[in-house]
Structures are given as C-alpha cells and as structure tokens.
Amino acid sequence: MADKPSDAEILEGLSEIVEEVAGVSPDDVTADKSFVDDLDIDSLSMVEIAVQAEDRFGVKIPDDELANLKTVGDAVTYVSSHA
C-alpha cells in the first residue's frame, strides 16, 4: 500500500464500491447513514462490499467484524484504523 488513505479518500472509495454493488448513488453515502436502514443494503451485499473494500484498502474485514459496521462512518473508522 502507498500512503495511508485519508478518511475522505476512504469514504470516496467506499461510496464507489457501494454504488457498484448495490446501485446506491454516491451522494447518499455519507458517514451518518446506516447501511441497512438508510441505504437499504442487505447482509449479502455487505459481504460483497467488504470483499471489495478488503482488496481496495488492503484490510481484513472478517464476518464477525462486518456485523458491527452499522453505519458508513463505522466502516470508514474500521478501514482507517486497520489500513
């Protein structure tokens, strides 16, 4: 990995992944949004998002950790602290 990505870069990367996997507009992917309740992303799409985020940011997101990532902000924090 090059330099550790900033939170803004992680958010941008995540929103691209979320758009690709679940067809959600990147504008809607903001830190306060809940994946399930606000963005209507189900647990299987979350797995696909996690797999792509692992590739993109060089982190590991095991299934039991994934279950704790409720909001986009949770995911940004997780990636940021594991990248």
Partner 1 sequence: MTTLNQTTGPTATRILGVGSHQPERIVTNDELSLHMDTTDQWIRERVGIAERRFSAPDEKLVDMAVIAGSKALADSGLSPSDVDTVILANCTMPHPIPNGAAQVADRIGVKAAGAFDLNAACAGFCYSLGTASDLVRAGSAKRVLVIGAEKLTDWVDPTDRSNAIIFADGAGAAVVGPSDTPGIGPVVWGSAGDLVDTIGMNPNPAGGNKVLYQEGQSVFRWATTKIAPIALRALEAAGITPAEVDVLIPHQANLRIVESIAKKLRANGAREDMVVADDIVYSGNTSSASIPMAMDHMRAAGRIKPGDVALLVGFGAGLSYAGQVVICP
Ligand X SMILES: CC(C)(COP(=O)(O)OP(=O)(O)OC[C@H]1O[C@@H](n2cnc3c(N)ncnc32)[C@H](O)[C@@H]1OP(=O)(O)O)[C@@H](O)C(=O)NCCC(=O)NCCS
Instruction: Identify the burial level of 53 via C-beta atoms within 10 angstroms of its C-beta, where 0-12 means exposed, 13-18 middle and 19 or more buried.
Output: buried
The tokens describing 73, both together, are 């902000």
What is the DSSP code string of 62-83? -HHHHTT--BHHHHHHHHHHH-
Cβ–Cβ < 8 Å for 33, 72:
yes
| Residue 25 vs 67, nearer CB to ligand X | 67
Site string for partner 1, 60-79 (x = CB under 8 A): ---x--x-------------
Smallest gap from Cβ 43 to partner 1, in A, equals: 6
Among 7, 37, 43, 65, which residue interacts with partner 1 (rule: CB under 8 A)? Answer: 43
Q: List contacts with partner 1 (CB under 8 A).
A: 42-44, 47-48, 50-51, 63, 66
- Provide the binding-site residues for ligand X, judged by CB under 6 A: 42-44
